[in-house]
Amino acid sequence: MRVLLVEDDDLIGCGIEAGLRQAGFTVDWARDGHKAGLALDTTSYALVVLDLGLPRVSGMELLRRLRDAGKDVPVLVLTARGTVVDRVGGLEAGADDYLGKPFDLTELIARCRALLRRAQGRSVDVIRYRELSVNPAAQAVEVAGKRVSLTSREWAILMQLLTNQGIPQSRSRLEESLYGWQEEIESNAIEVHVSNLRKKLGAHLIRTVRNIGYVVEKE
Ligand code: CA
């Protein structure tokens, strides 16, 4: 799943970026509010981690614009200004959760997962689908109780399909969720990953939708 990180502090940003990557997310990192706005206009993200004190366009302004545009992507607001006024202001401007600096990276990741879970309408972290059991926190997949190991790309495709059951995902949509700004997209990569997923998880899990892409049917 692709996450937009908006943070102007290099040290903090590096830490969060590494933590999110480690947790299996694709991360785009915008260092100012203007660049973040452009990213949000052109890319669909599963989640935004947003610092409030930013150059060019403030985090609060960005958040307001996002919500005014009717976008409901979950936003975790991050700020050193952990006063009640800022916290309430952020939440009223449309933040879904709030974390004051300094924070623990494991707490940040846990909150990100909780927001994604909520956005997907799940109350528990483990996704069960037929004989499949998927634990995003542990990045673990089991088929009928047997552990299967996936590459990070396979994992990203599986999550994108499983969290959008019944909604066909186009190849470009899948590429978008898989590749960050700096990464080159290999041609036919999606087909190769899907084919590997079918070998590992069973031939019938992912259905090809002709001329569109792929889908995991609603259970
Ligand atoms: Ca800042």
What is the per-residue burial (b if ≥16 Cβ within 10 Å, else e) of 145-165?
eeeeebeebbbbbbbbbbbbe
Q: State how many domains the chain has.
A: 2
For 31-53, what is each residue's pLDDT tens digit? 999 999 999 999 989 999 999 88
Strand pairing category for 2-6 and 47-51 = parallel
Distance 98 CA to ligand 1 centre (A): 15
Residues of the chain with pLDDT under 70: 81-85
Are 143 and 101 contained in the same domain?
Answer: no
Which residues constitute the domain of residue 194?
127-215
Distance 51 CA to ligand 1 centre (A): 6
Among the candidates 94, 119, 144, a domain finishes at 119
Are 147 and 68 contained in the same domain?
Answer: no
Among the candidates 119, 137, 155, a domain finishes at 119
For 47-79, what is each residue's pLDDT tens digit? 999 998 899 999 999 999 999 999 999 999 987
Distance 43 CA to ligand 1 centre (A): 23
Evaluate whether 214 touches 167 at the Cβ level (below 8 Å): no
Rounded to an integer, what distance in angstroms lies between the CA atom of residue 219 and that of residue 209?
17
Distance 156 CA to ligand 1 centre (A): 29
